[in-house]
Amino acid sequence: MVVVAAAGREDYLLRSLSEGAEVSVLVVDGTQLVAEAQRRHKLAPTATAAMGRSLLGALLMGSFRKEDEQVQITFQGNGPAGSILAIADTRGNVKGKINNPAADPPLRPDGKLNVGGAVGQGVLAVVRSHPLEPQPYTGMVPIVSGEIAEDLANYLVDSEQTNSALGLGVSLDRDCNVKSAGGWLVQILPFCSEETLVQLEKNLTSMPSITAMLNEGMTPEAVTERILDGLGVMPGAERLPPKYGPCEEETLKKRMIRAVASLGKKEVADIIAQEGKLEVTCDLCQQTYNFSQQEVDDYLDAQHSEHEEEEEAAAVSSSSSSATSA
């Protein structure tokens, strides 16, 4: 499948505040990002919409938070798509996977992609983690509709007690390529007035879908102005370019060879003898690497040497302790 996203469109995420600092708005145009995910994972149309919405939702929930924080969302539904995973960090990097990239149930009666049918019923799990925090925060809620945005909005209210609204969308052209993909996340800040809430609700209920606005050529700035119509937009909006991935090459190769080495020298040799090579593909970025028998042997030998050195160091430490006690 040849994937071609809308040419000339730039992906970026925009964070803005209303003039009175009562409302926070994040808007993302992630058309190229979702097209890249479709290309890498060879996604069917409905799988593209389901995974695309999940990636954009994770991006909106993970960006502009504490440095090095990471958010992971997992839809564990009983639909044909199987489990859908998306992981995003504060720098705009996002990646994911879907168990069945070929999931493509019949269209809904209104002619739209049946994302809810692809996801099915089950559980949505969200994990927020930070390297400086001892334990990650994990929240779980039942899947409400399987349409992704409604489920994530329900999670934010139910598990994180965040007064918010969320919209996500992925539209495809006649060739099933990504035409537009984006989303918005509105969060009510403390001391928000009743008048502001009334105006905001009016704006959101009368607003077209995010894909309709992007297809009309609206930018994240224009979408933000539409959301905050009558409330004003505070100057100084923050902008962040999203990216699919990355799985850092050195880290990824180390993780892969560690997994390969766990098979043992004999099984690795048998696979290479039968297949002519040992090929490993990352589930998230779909990057593939080939490993030779020599690379695996060298890794195992290095691990064995490190283990022996650790045992010798422990023995020396134990002897030193005994001598001191004496």
Q: Are domains 12-244 and 249-310 of this chain identical in fold?
A: no
201 and 190 Cβ atoms separated by less than 8 Å: no
Q: Give 11's strand partners.
A: none
Q: Which two tokens stand for residue 42?
A: 């060879």
- Across the range 17-32, mean pLDDT stands at 97
Q: Which CATH superfamily is domain 12-244 in?
A: Hsp33 domain (3.55.30.10)
Of 44, 31, 32, 37, residue with least CA distance to 1:
44
Task: Name the pairing type of β-strands 243-244 and 93-98.
Answer: parallel
- In whole angstroms, what is the distance from residue 103 CA to residue 110 CA? 19
pTM recorded for the entire structure: 0.84
Q: Which fold is adopted by the domain 249-310? A: CBS domain Like (3.90.1280)
Q: How many residues does the chain have?
A: 326
pLDDT recorded at residue 222: 98
Q: Where are the domains of the chain?
A: 12-244, 249-310
- Across the range 263-268, mean pLDDT stands at 81
pLDDT recorded at residue 261: 78
Please identify which residue in the block is written with the tokens 């990239």. 101
Q: Which two tokens stand for residue 309?
A: 């050195």
What DSSP element (H or E) covers 89? Answer: strand 83-89
Residues 113-131 pLDDT 10s = 999 999 999 999 999 998 8
